[in-house]
Amino acid sequence: MHDEQALRRALVRQTKLGADQIGKAVVRRRSIDARGSRPVFRLRVEVFPSGEDPEAEAPLMDDYREVQDAPIVAIVGCGPAGMFAALEMLELGLRPIIIERGKDVQARRRSLRAIQQFGEVDPNSNYCFGEGGAGTYSDGKLYTRSLKRGNYLKALRTLVEHGAQSEILIDAHPHIGSNKLPKVVANMRESILRHGGEIRFGHRMTGLEKTADGKNLAALIITDERGSTYRLAAEAFVLATGHSARDVYALLHEEGIRMEAKPFALGVRIEHPQPLIDKIQYGQEKREDNLPASSYKLVTQVKDRGVFSFCMCPGGLVVPAATAPGEIVVNGMSLSRRDSPYANSGTVVAVELEDLAPFRDHGIFAGLAFQRSVEQAMFGAGDGSQAAPAARLTDFVRGKVSRNLPETSYIPGLFPAPLHELLPAGIYRRLQRGVEDFGRKMRGYFTEEANVIGTESRTSSPVRIPRDRKTYQHPDFPTLYPCGEGAGFAGGILSAAMDGQNVARAIAAKVLA
């Protein structure tokens, strides 16, 4: 946090105003600039004259209505897209009913312990599936480049009103943390329930019912945790299932819902000691106490494909993110304090549609087949547990199997493996060249102290469910509204949240017209 008295003294120096002339000073933006010889905190401050205060904003929750008797909208998926759509509907006068295959955030912890400690993968409850979606237990990073896609500040304020720290409103790279985000998610759930919405955990969409003419959706067929099936009719249907619900894509295909293949990215997760990254970025042998764990962002081009760092987690942990038995998938997360001795980042290669020629027999699901083949190869290299194949960064680039590996944050453990053979040749060669380039851009990055861990494959969905740009409706089925990462229209918590808000407003414009 910034020191209030130091801030006021700085304002007096900068503005040449007397201390008695400066009233309230509100920090609007906060960032760290580490490009010089020493890191600098940069603040954008709005200063009010003495005796004048900024106008207080009314809480967003004051606008939530009682919707028990309002028109029903069914939402499939309780991730950020689904939950923010539901909260927006409370303002607009629609009743959201959320169908979520996974468990609530509290019960979900047992599923995460099972995969971390015992290698047991619950296909319905894991790091990707469950209340809050994939971001709940994999970091809670909130920065996005999609600021023009929706009301970014409203999404942040919604999180703060439900328990997130207020600093996310001003930080250049806001972050909540996987230890605090579950409570925020639980509070959002309570808002939805308290105003007449519903969330049904352990319920899965297993079928669709079309209208008599076959030109629209009339209802969803839902199977609950006991195996009983029921019909859920609604005025509109929001599909917000996330990027890993492969069975949903298969169901939509069987039901004749048009989809299309889209580019995505695949690679590895690279883990360094956090003190090494701090030394490189801050230029200090030991990070000063007032500085946060440092991060990085790296990008290059290799053979007409982007190679880039993704979801960088300073002071973080690498976690197992498989959604089915027989696959190894890794992701990264940080707790709010970001005090782990490790830093990790996905390091991935862009995969274009022409790269999927060996899987062309899978049609629009060529990307899914490509993902699955790599994940299963990683699993097949191990002992049947969630231990992940890995190599020292230097050995990875040289195409060697490491004799031993550095310490890691990854609880299931690592084992030396020929990642240069397990990865598709085109992916490996570009990663090899890309990492060498990163080492030239960031002196000290290329080191034998770093682990390369396979595989980071769930960066985004390889499938897009099309929709109209203005109405957000599927072009063939007007009551179906594809939404969020799983539909191919978002790439993180904030962009998915804004997409949910946009879809909710589009539905209200149609249903309440």
Q: What is the pLDDT of residues 325-373, one digit of tens each?
A: 999 999 999 998 999 999 999 999 999 999 999 999 999 999 999 999 9
Give the confidence band of 184 by pLDDT, cuts at 50, 70, 90: very high
The CA–CA distances, whole Å, from 310 to 141, 267, 269, 349 equal 12, 10, 9, 10
Instruction: Identify whether residues 34 and 119 lie together within a single domain.
Output: no
Please name the residues in contact with 281: beta carbons below 8 A apart, sequence gap of 6 or more.
34, 294, 295, 296
Nearest CA to 407 out of 449, 456, 345 is that of 449
55: in domain: no
Position 25 pLDDT exceeds 50: yes
In a domain, 317, yes or no: yes
Please say if the pLDDT value at position 2 is more than 60. Answer: no
Report the SS3 class of residue 373: helix
Residue 182 inside a domain? The answer is: yes
Please tell me whether residues 351 and 427 are part of one structural domain: yes
Report which residue type is found at 395.
Answer: D
- In this prediction, residues 306-330 reach a mean pLDDT of 96
Residue 4 CB neighbours (<10 A):
10
Clarify whether residues 24 and 77 are in a common domain.
Answer: no
pLDDT at residue 231 greater than cutoff 90: yes
Residues 6+ apart with CB under 8 A from 418: 381, 391, 401
Note whether 209 and 68 are same-domain residues.
Answer: yes
**What's the average model confidence in pLDDT over 93-101?**
98
In the structure, what pLDDT confidence band is assigned to residue 3 with cuts at 50, 70 and 90? low
Residue 60 predicted with pLDDT over 70: yes
pLDDT at 420 over 50: yes
Task: Supply the CATH number for residue 125's domain.
Answer: 3.50.50.60
Asked if residue 110 belongs to a domain, the reply is yes
Domain that holds residue 42: 4-49
Position 6 confidence tier, pLDDT thresholds 50, 70, 90: confident
Q: Give domain status of residue 54, yes or no.
A: no
Cα 268 to Cα 312: distance, rounded to the nearest angstrom: 12
Residue 107 lies in a domain: yes
Indicate the average pLDDT of the chain: 93
The alpha-helical segments, DSSP class H, found in 162-218 are 181-194
Considering only residues 163 and 9, tell me which one the structure prediction assigns the higher pLDDT. Answer: 163
Shared domain check, 361 and 294: yes
Domain shared by 118 and 200, yes or no: yes
Same domain, yes or no, for 447 and 495? no
Residue with token string 């595989």 = 455
Q: Are residues 88 and 15 in the same domain?
A: no
Per-residue model confidence (pLDDT) at position 290: 87
Q: What residues are paired with 416 via a beta bridge?
A: 390
**DSSP state, 409?**
S
Q: Alpha helix (H) ranges present in 93-134?
A: 105-118
Least confident of 25-34, 118-127, 230-239, 497-506: 25-34
Count: domains in the chain: 3
Structure tokens at 513: 């017209």
Do 189 and 282 fall into the same domain?
no
In a domain, 56, yes or no: no
Task: At 221, list the tokens.
Answer: 């067929």
**pLDDT, average across residues 40-59:** 83
Q: Are residues 336 and 239 in the same domain?
A: no
How do residues 67-92 score in pLDDT, each as one tens digit? Answer: 999 999 999 999 999 999 999 999 99
Question: Of 435, 456, 477, which residue constitutes the final position of a domain?
Answer: 456
- In this structure, are 267 and 252 located in the same domain? no
Task: Please tell me the pTM assigned to this model.
Answer: 0.94
- Is pLDDT at 34 greater than 50 in this prediction? yes
Instruction: For residue 145, name the pLDDT band (cuts at 50, 70, 90).
Output: low
Asked whether residue 98 is domain-assigned, the answer is yes
What gap in Å lies between CA 190 and CA 87, rounded to an integer? Answer: 11
Domain identity same for 446 and 470: no
